[in-house]
Amino acid sequence: MQNDNEVLLRVEHLCQYFKMGGGKELKAVDDVSFDIKKGEVFGLVGESGCGKTTTGRSIIKLYDITSGNVYFKGQRICAGTRSYKDAIAAARQQCKAACAELKAKCAGEIAAGADAEETKKKYEELLKAEAERRDLAIDEQRRLARDAMHDQKYCDKDYAKRKVAEIEAELEAALKNCGTEEEKIALRKQYREKIRLASHESIVHQIQMIFQDPIASLDPRMTVRDIIAEGLVIHGVKDKKYIDERVYEVLEKVGLVREHAGRYPHEFSGGQRQRIGIARSVIMRPELIIADEPVSALDVSIQAQVINLLNDLRNEFGITVLFIAHDLSVVKYFSDRIGVMYFGKMVELASSDDLFDHPLHPYTKSLLSAIPLPDPIYERQRKRITYNPLAEHDYSTDKPELREVAPGHFVHCNMAEFENYKKILEQSE
Ligand SMILES: Nc1ncnc2c1ncn2[C@@H]1O[C@H](COP(=O)(O)OP(=O)(O)O)[C@@H](O)[C@H]1O
Ligand SMILES: [Mg+2]
């Protein structure tokens, strides 16, 4: 289903820590990296509380993320500063240690009979050089932090500016081909609205999130028409007739009818409300939809319908999907690649086929063992594997990180486990 290998979204060392009482932090998302290619469905799976929603909400900028970067269509839209602050503290610490060592050496040389005056002078130079190195490093980190804060705050403004500049350039080019002054005036007038709309454009709104609970995410006092149209209005669209037409169009796209536009959310069933939520996203013509457990609150009979709808939208509009679920059974047939999260970390990332055929991380195996199959014999024999990280891993000296065990197949593991996983894959071939 992938159009090409173009990366649409890149999440890089994302950390989102929440402040708890007493100076403590909860690492809801801790150093998570993955990318999503244009046109693909990426499944993000893990038990409740592992940080899936926080990952999604970070991407759409509901938080000032703690650390890391998120790039969308090559532009940085989220950037945290913690890593730069840590680097500044480390540079200070390193300088302090180096200076203490130099001072001790200096005292030692003088004690051993070296000329005090000359030795001190020599070491002063060295100390000065250390301080200069530290200051340079700090300046560099401060610059990176400033850039990060700028992008975090102004990515939409920068984007709109660029879009306006593009359209102005288009207008300039068109004006050159105009013969008469009247033609020029007409052209300028025609471009005025285009430029106004471009100045309202947002790169972040090209990512739309669909929430788990369709009732909590729909304002009960607004009509379906106004709920669905809200995004367009925010983007400066004023033409009521155009808005109505677009609302009717997306209502039909999601399997509702235009007569529903005048009603209120409480008049609909759970499945229909989720369709309204999807319509509200789709009207923005998003390039990426983050579907956060969109079927978890729905009856099983309706789950498949909503998944089919998402699949249709993906096929029809080429929308890329980040599909969040707490178990693997929902994402299995729908995802091109799957990332498995456990307690804020990405523990395994692979193509759907690789993940199901050759799961490596014990937590992934445990999730797989939880999937029921419509086969009574298998069901009777099915053993649930429980994951106990303390019993599974010894990370006291050999530290874990996300490592590529086979092309495109990543596992959070230490070196010993890495070698072992590679062996397992070789033997299974
Ligand atoms: N706004 C918040 N403030 C403090 N803690 C939060 C907040 N949002 C989520 N958390 C905590 O972060 C962790 C991850 O939560 P969440 O991302 O909702 O997990 P999931 O979607 O995988 O169930 C949980 O421990 C949750 O309690
Ligand atoms: Mg959640």
Between CA 138 and CA 245 the distance in angstroms is 55
- Residue 219 CA to ligand 2 centre (angstroms): 20
Question: For the whole model, what pTM was predicted?
Answer: 0.91
- Which residues sit opposite 32 in a β-bridge? 14
Nearest CA to ligand 1 atom 2: 18
> Which is the closest atom of ligand 1 to the Cα of 55?
17
Q: How far apart are the first and last CA of the chain?
A: 26
pLDDT, one tens digit per residue, over 16-53 is: 999 998 999 999 999 999 999 999 999 999 999 999 99
Cα dist from 233 to 220, 242, 260, whole Å: 19, 11, 19
How far is ligand 1, taken at its centre, from the CA of residue 305, in Å?
A: 28
Q: How far is the CA of 19 from the centre of ligand 2 (A)?
A: 19
Helix 270-282 × helix 300-317 angle, to 10° = 20
**Atom nearest to 50 CA in ligand 1:** 22
Nearest CA to ligand 1 atom 9: 54
In this structure, the residue with its CA closest to atom 10 of ligand 1 is 28
Pairing of strands 41-45, 337-342: parallel
Q: What is the 3-state secondary structure (H, E, C) of 201-266?
A: CCCHHHEEEECCCCCCCCCCCCCHHHHHHHHHHHCCCCCHHHHHHHHHHHHHHCCCCHHHHHCCHH
Whole-angstrom CA distances from 246 to 70, 243, 285 are 31, 5, 11
User: DSSP labels for 349-378?
Assistant: EEEHHHHHHS--SHHHHHHHHT---S-HHH
Instruction: Please tell me the distance between residue 54's alpha carbon and the centre of ligand 2 in angstroms.
Output: 7
Q: Which atom, in ligand 1's list, is nearest to the CA of 344?
A: 14
How confident is residue 3, by pLDDT bands cut at 50, 70 and 90? very low
Percent with pLDDT over 90 in the chain: 79
Compute φ and ψ for 354, nearest 5 degrees.
-60, -40
Q: Which phi and psi (to 5°) does residue 399 adopt?
A: -85, 145
Cross-strand partners of 67: 15
**pLDDT category, 62, cuts 50, 70, 90?**
very high
- Ligand 1, atom 6, lies closest to the CA of 18
pLDDT in tens, 182-227: 889 999 999 999 999 999 999 999 999 998 877 778 899 999 999 9
Ligand 1, atom 25, lies closest to the CA of: 49
Q: Which residues line ligand 1 (CB under 6 A)?
A: 18, 26, 28, 46, 48-54
CB atoms within 10 A of CB 327: 17
Q: Chain-wide mean pLDDT for the chain?
A: 93
Say what the pLDDT of residue 4 is: 54
Ordered by start, the domain boundaries in the chain are 93-153
For the record, the structure tokens of 428 come out as 């299974």
User: 172: Cβ–Cβ under 8 A, 6 or more apart, which residues?
Assistant: none
The residue nearest atom 4 of ligand 1, judged by CA position, is 18
Q: Which residue's entry shows tokens 């096929």?
A: 315
Which residue, chain included where needed, has tokens 């001072």?
Answer: 103
Give me the pLDDT at residue 381, please: 77
Ligand minimally distant from the alpha carbon of residue 57 = 1
Please give the number of the atom of ligand 1 that sits closest to the Cα of 54.
17
Helix then strand count (H, E) for the chain reads 14, 12
Q: What pLDDT does residue 1 have?
A: 44
Q: Is the pLDDT of residue 94 over 50?
A: yes
- How far apart CA 310 and CA 319 sit, in angstroms, is 9
Distance 32 CA to ligand 1 centre (A): 15
**pLDDT surpassing 60 at residue 180:** yes
Q: Which of 306, 339, 309 is nearest to 322 (CA)?
A: 339
pLDDT given at position 383: 80
Please report which helix (H) or strand (E) contains residue 290, including its range. strand 288-292
The residue whose CA has the least distance to atom 1 of ligand 1 is: 18
> How does pLDDT run across 132-164, given as a tens digit for each residue?
999 999 999 999 999 999 999 999 999 999 999
CA–CA distance, 49 with 19 (Å, rounded to integer): 16
Per-state percent for the chain, helix, strand, coil, to nearest 5: 55, 20, 30
| Residue with CA nearest ligand 1 atom 7 | 18
Pocket test for ligand 1, best of 15, 20, 25, 26 (most atoms within 8 A of CB): 26
Between helices 82-111 and 116-176, what is the axis angle to 10°? 160
Alpha-carbon distance 57 to 64, whole Å? 10
| Closest ligand to the CA of 46 | 1
In this predicted structure, what is the pLDDT of residue 387? 93
DSSP line for 146-193: HHHHHHHHHHHHHHHHHHHHHHHHHHHHHHHT--SHHHHHHHHHHHHH
- Which ligand approaches the C-alpha of residue 294 most closely? 2
- Characterize the bridge pairing of strands 67-72 and 7-19: antiparallel
Per-residue pLDDT, 286: 94
User: In the structure, what pLDDT confidence band is assigned to residue 332 with cuts at 50, 70 and 90?
Assistant: confident
Mutate to test the pocket of ligand 1, among 18, 63, 367 (most ligand atoms within 8 A of CB): 18
Report how far apart, in Å, the C-alpha atoms of 53 and of each of 49, 169, 331, 379, 391 are.
Answer: 8, 40, 16, 31, 28
Percent of the chain with pLDDT over 70: 99
Instruction: Give per-residue pLDDT as tens, 259-316.
Output: 999 999 999 988 899 899 999 999 999 999 999 998 887 888 788 888 888 888 888 8
Q: How far is the CA of 228 from the centre of ligand 2 (A)?
A: 23
Evaluate if residue 233 carries a pLDDT over 70: yes
pLDDT at 372 over 80: no
Q: Give the pLDDT confidence score for residue 313 in this predicted structure.
A: 87
Distance in angstroms (rounded) separating the CA atoms of residues 199 and 267: 37
Atom in ligand 1 nearest the alpha carbon of residue 51:
17
Please tell me the residue having the least CA distance from ligand 1 atom 26.
Answer: 49
Ligand nearest to the CA of 16: 1
3-state SS assignment for residue 59: helix
The CA 47 to ligand 1 mean position distance, Å, reads: 12
* Block residue for tokens 């990280």: 389
d(CA 55, CA 63): 10
